[in-house]
């Protein structure tokens, strides 16, 4: 608290000095006058620093803080996890909770839920709201969002990311970053790059060809930098081509800073730095989390000694200090940034809206959903996830929340006055355990038997299962060990079906799961981790107040071995002898399933509604386009059902005559369209011809191959409605 008060006083003094300077009463240094251009202020400040002060800027001084320059009144930087909420305060030099009483935040839905909205407007509202919370808590850097690609359903951190498709992630990350940074808080986009598993994450050496790197794993980062103007990037724990990603010449220097023109700061993941000279010379700017005294960090005393010995040029230090000063100027020394707000009703509403739009109706045979209370007297709510807190656990994304509405609470609030609701846990897992497995409380057989009895006496069963934030589930530092549901849930679902055929399965998770019972379950809902308002959002979708409109941001394979990363054995996942080869190349997710004709359980982009939509035949402005033109695809979309609803109209492109291997189809445009009952609207999707390029490894650049391209409109990668062909000259 003392540090934050000092920072606030510093800013107040700067504002006062600026006023005096404007009136001619005092000469204010350029670096402290935020009416001057940022670069002038940065260069002025840099010229005033000693070597020791420059180096002090480059490493942590606390668990989540890096130093300023007290002599000159330049304040320190304060950082915070995470991607879907501002983490509780921790101790100065450890991750132990500080036990403040005023740091209970809003938990926003996990980023898989945001991606499932397929709605950039929701991404902006999300970023703006979480940025306001970070600003209120006096955080200068928010460690998120995460845009690593969903490669395997075993990855413990998939719930923190935006799915398997690079175009979808690119479209969604830009407004998120802009929303955060409007508050004068830097978005730190992570984890750059190829951090696609938690297994051996701090050591595995990822080998991937340049084309797959460019087409699949880098686009979302590129969009965040060039489209979102992200002020910070976090390096990844893993290695790529033999070098750690937190100091990787190819990724950080050549691609990020030189090729993309990134002007921000590269921050290490906590403990991701391994060598002084490597870190200094290969792109790292701020080192965080190294587990030794702060002065013993690689970019601390040992770096100072290396410069004094002439091993590292001071110009290298200047460039790093320049970037850090630029970040300080953009954030904590920006006296015009708003004050922010924290855990407000407006933020809760934003979270609920995102959760509602992200919920995916996977299956709805019969008339179970939406729930009609006039036809049902008793609902059995089964499953631990109906009541379990899902904002705790998971690693660095764990949150201390102001409130968290469970599904059971949400259902009782909306339906409790009209329907009898009975709950039975049915199964139980241990409490959240980061880094270890704790035994489940209670007797599994007794819990299951009680749930079956409750289900037998109800007209409708709502089973709330899935995963949770325990280690080896959706959690940092360890991948899942099994594709099936844990804690005997598959057996429980089968036994529930044996006594009651009206079972709705609601999955709360950030990952795909196997569904051996799928043919017998009439309705399935993917509800993700919905944050503070999860229960209200789920209840409003189940009772039809909200018509579901979410779409899957990744493919659900039938079996684990149907996933591309698992089709090549341990060489491709989790790696052998410390090396992992991405042998599936560019065929990640639906690209693999559609190209290799491997039927998915549920396709990328899939999501049903309580209404029905009709797609008209598409047309284009013309049939032939130059490489610098924009293709406009037009078609009618009609709501033929009895409810207002929204549909995500998707456009996929294939190049059947391509001379190089191309996926069967790739998402290249989408839009979310809200339609009233009976309403028809013209949809226009634009595709710059440049979006059809592939990475040519022979020329090390993007290339648009001339020829015919098939444009396919549909509601998922497997539900294609119509096609139209154009030619690129």
Q: Which residues of 19-39 are buried (b: 16+ CB within 10 A; e: fewer)?
A: eebeeeeeebebbbbbeeeee
Q: CATH number of the domain at 351-552, please? A: 3.40.50.1700
pLDDT surpasses 70 at 3? no
Known catalytic membership, residue 269: yes
In the chain, pLDDT over 90 holds for what percent of residues?
91
Model confidence at 82, in pLDDT bands (50, 70, 90)?
Answer: confident
Give the ranges where 359-488 is alpha helix by DSSP (H).
407-415, 444-456
Q: Which residues of 376-396 are buried (b: 16+ CB within 10 A; e: fewer)?
A: beebbbbbbbbebebbbbbbb
Alpha carbon distance 572, 311 (integer Å): 39
Could you tell me which residue, 435 or 2, shows the higher pLDDT? Answer: 435
Any idea where the domains of the chain sit in the sequence?
A: 351-552, 613-728
Tokens 């070597």 belong to 51
Tokens 């893993």 belong to 238
Q: Which residues of 700-710 are buried (b: 16+ CB within 10 A; e: fewer)?
A: eeeebbeeebb
pLDDT surpasses 90 at 190? yes
pLDDT surpasses 60 at 24? no
Q: How many CB atoms sit inside 10 A of residue 508's CB?
A: 26
Alpha carbon distance 463, 455 (integer Å): 10
The pLDDT of residue 417: 87
**Contact between 63 and 80 (Cβ < 8 Å):** no
* pLDDT one-digit tens code per residue, 517-576: 999 999 999 999 999 999 999 999 999 999 999 999 999 999 999 999 999 999 999 999
* pLDDT one-digit tens code per residue, 325-353: 999 999 999 999 999 999 999 999 999 99
Cis peptide before 92 (omega within 30 of 0): no
Q: Any idea what DSSP says for residue 251?
A: I
Strand-pairing partners, residue 523, are 364, 504
In the chain, pLDDT over 70 holds for what percent of residues?
95
Model confidence at 191, in pLDDT bands (50, 70, 90)?
Answer: very high
- What's the mean pLDDT when you consider all of the chain? 94
Q: How many CB atoms sit inside 10 A of residue 336's CB?
A: 8
pLDDT surpasses 90 at 410? yes
The pLDDT of residue 430: 72
Cis peptide before 371 (omega within 30 of 0): no
Which residue is catalytic, options 103, 269, 474, 585? Answer: 269
* pLDDT one-digit tens code per residue, 297-314: 999 999 999 999 999 999
The pLDDT of residue 13: 47
The pLDDT of residue 434: 54
* pLDDT one-digit tens code per residue, 158-183: 999 999 999 999 999 999 999 999 99
**Contact between 654 and 577 (Cβ < 8 Å):** no
pLDDT surpasses 70 at 15? no
Identify the CATH class of 613-728: mainly beta
How would you write 146-199 as a 3-class SS string? ECCCCCCCCCCCHHHCCCCCHHHHHHHHHHHHHHHHCCCCEEEEEEECCCCCCC
Alpha carbon distance 307, 470 (integer Å): 45
* pLDDT one-digit tens code per residue, 418-471: 999 999 999 998 766 555 555 666 788 999 999 999 999 999 999 999 999 999
Q: Any idea what DSSP says for residue 561?
A: G
| Residues whose CB is less than 8 angstroms from the CB of residue 372 and which lie 6 or more positions away in sequence, other chains included | none
The pLDDT of residue 19: 46
Q: Any idea what DSSP says for residue 70?
A: G
* pLDDT one-digit tens code per residue, 94-132: 999 999 999 999 999 999 999 999 999 999 999 999 999
* pLDDT one-digit tens code per residue, 634-661: 999 999 999 999 999 999 999 998 999 9
């Amino acid at each position: 608290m003392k540090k934050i008060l000092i920072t606030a006083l510093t800013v107040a003094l700067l504002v006062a000095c600026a006023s005096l300077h404007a009136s001619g009463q005092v000469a204010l240094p350029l670096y402290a006058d935020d009416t001057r251009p940022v670069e002038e202020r940065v260069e002025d400040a840099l010229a005033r620093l000693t070597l020791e002060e420059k180096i002090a800027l480059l490493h942590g001084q606390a668990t989540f803080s890096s130093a300023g320059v007290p002599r000159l009144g330049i304040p320190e930087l304060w950082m915070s996890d995470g991607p879907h909420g501002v983490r509780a305060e921790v101790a100065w030099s450890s991750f132990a909770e500080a036990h403040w009483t005023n740091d209970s935040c809003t938990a926003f839905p996990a980023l898989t839920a945001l991606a499932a909205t397929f709605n950039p407007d929701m991404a902006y509202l999300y970023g703006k709201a979480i940025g306001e919370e970070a600003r209120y808590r006096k955080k200068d850097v928010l460690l998120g969002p995460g845009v690593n690609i969903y490669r395997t359903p075993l990855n413990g951190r998939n719930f923190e990311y935006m799915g398997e498709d690079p175009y979808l992630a690119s479209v969604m990350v830009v407004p998120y970053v802009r929303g955060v940074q409007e508050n004068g808080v830097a978005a730190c986009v992570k984890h750059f790059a190829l951090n696609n598993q938690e297994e051996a994450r701090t050591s595995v050496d990822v080998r991937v060809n340049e084309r797959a790197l460019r087409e699949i794993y880098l686009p979302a980062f590129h969009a965040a930098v060039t489209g979102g103007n992200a002020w910070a990037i976090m390096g990844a724990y893993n290695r790529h081509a033999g070098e750690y990603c937190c100091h990787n010449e190819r990724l950080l220097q050549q691609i990020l800073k030189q090729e993309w023109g990134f002007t921000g700061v590269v921050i290490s993941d906590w403990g991701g730095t391994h060598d002084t000279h490597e870190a200094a010379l290969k792109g790292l700017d701020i080192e965080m989390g190294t587990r030794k005294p702060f002065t013993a960090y690689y970019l601390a005393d040992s770096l100072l000694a290396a410069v004094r010995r002439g091993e590292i040029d001071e110009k290298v230090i200047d460039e790093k200090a320049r970037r850090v000063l630029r970040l300080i100027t953009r954030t904590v020394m920006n006296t015009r940034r708003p004050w922010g707000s924290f855990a407000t009703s407006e933020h809760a509403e934003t979270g609920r809206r995102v959760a509602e739009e992200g919920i995916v109706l996977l299956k709805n045979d019969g008339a179970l959903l939406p729930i009609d209370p006039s036809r049902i007297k008793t609902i059995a709510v089964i499953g631990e996830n109906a009541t379990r807190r899902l904002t705790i656990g998971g690693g660095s994304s764990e949150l201390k929340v102001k409130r968290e509405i469970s599904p059971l609470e949400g259902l009782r609030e909306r339906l409790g006055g009209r329907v009898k609701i009975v709950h039975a846990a049915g199964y139980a897992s241990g409490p959240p355990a980061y880094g270890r497995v704790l035994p489940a409380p209670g007797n599994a057989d007794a819990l299951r038997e009680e749930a079956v009895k409750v289900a037998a006496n109800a007209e409708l069963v709502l089973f709330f299962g899935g995963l949770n934030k325990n280690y080896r589930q959706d959690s940092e530092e360890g991948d899942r060990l099994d594709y099936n549901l844990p804690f005997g849930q598959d057996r429980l679902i089968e036994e529930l079906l044996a006594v009651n055929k009206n079972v709705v399965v609601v999955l709360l998770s950030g990952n795909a799961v196997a569904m051996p019972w799928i043919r017998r379950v009439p309705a399935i809902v993917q509800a993700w981790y919905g944050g503070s308002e999860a229960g209200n959002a789920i209840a409003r979708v189940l009772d039809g107040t909200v018509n579901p409109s979410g779409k899957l941001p990744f493919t659900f394979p039938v079996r684990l071995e149907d996933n591309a990363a698992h089709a090549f054995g341990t060489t491709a996942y989790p790696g052998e002898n410390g090396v992992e080869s991405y042998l599936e190349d560019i065929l990640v997710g639906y690209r693999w399933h559609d190209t290799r004709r491997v039927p998915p359980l549920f396709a990328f982009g899939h999501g049903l509604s309580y209404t029905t939509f009709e797609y008209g035949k598409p047309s284009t402005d013309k049939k032939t386009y130059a490489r610098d033109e924009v293709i406009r695809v037009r078609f009618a979309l009609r709501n033929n059902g009895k409810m207002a609803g929204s549909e995500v109209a998707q456009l996929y492109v294939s190049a059947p005559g391509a001379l190089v291997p191309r996926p069967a189809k790739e998402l290249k445009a989408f839009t979310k369209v809200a339609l009233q009952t009976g309403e028809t609207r013209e949809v226009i999707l634009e595709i710059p011809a440049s979006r059809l390029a592939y990475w040519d490894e022979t020329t090390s650049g993007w290339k648009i191959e001339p020829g015919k391209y098939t444009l396919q409109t549909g509601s998922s990668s497997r539900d294609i409605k119509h096609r139209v062909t154009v030619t690129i000259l």
